[in-house]
Amino acid sequence: MEIRQATQNDLGKFFNYLNDHLSDNGVGDTHLFQPMSKAESSVNEAMKSRFTAGIKTEIYHPGWRRLWLAFDENKKIVGHIDIRAHAENHTQHRVLLGMGVDRSVRKQGLGKQLINKMLEWVADNTDIEHIDLWVLSNNLAAQKLYISTGFEKCGEIKDMFKIDGKSLSYTVMSRATVIAHG
């Protein structure tokens, strides 16, 4: 499995992968993992624009984003992780994380590999101190992964969303980029 930072040339394949990934959102045995209704679970132009502009924006400038892609032996994208700036001022020391793993390789350790690759890059290239994320509270598998990689639950917003007639809560998680052992 190869994991590397994405370039502009990767974005077409990435959007195809992401569209397929989002098609699983809330389907069958898969819980909603994105706060989107089943009908809107696809890549839209606003998403494409945020990724396209974000990965070419210098770090610490408004709208910046960094994206890593995991490729299988056939060069097919099977996972991704991205970090991006918070929208609020005075938050340059923190980033928001997003990630996903293709259905064909879930529960095989790729999520941890993606998180570790991102953390290595952050440590080597930035002054970022904290990685934050939001996860739907019903997504226990994702929360278990995040906890196993050093994230802690910071809180929960009950009834954050009403999607397809269901009330969903949002869990806030965070971790320091360097975890003290001792």
pLDDT digits (tens, 9 = 90+) for 96-145: 999 999 888 888 899 999 999 999 999 999 999 999 999 999 999 899 99
pLDDT computed for residue 28 by the predictor = 73
What pairing do the DSSP bridges indicate for beta strands 152-163 and 166-176?
Answer: antiparallel
Task: Note the pLDDT tens digit of each residue in 7-50.
Answer: 999 999 999 999 888 877 777 767 767 887 777 777 889 999 99
Long-range pairs for 157-164: beta carbons < 8 A, 24 or more residues apart:
160/35, 161/35, 161/136, 163/26, 163/32, 163/35, 163/36, 163/37, 164/26, 164/37, 164/38
Give the mean model confidence (pLDDT) for residues 146-156.
97
- With beta carbons less than 8 A apart as the criterion, state whether 163 and 32 touch: yes
In this prediction, residue 59 has a pLDDT band, given cuts at 50, 70 and 90, of very high
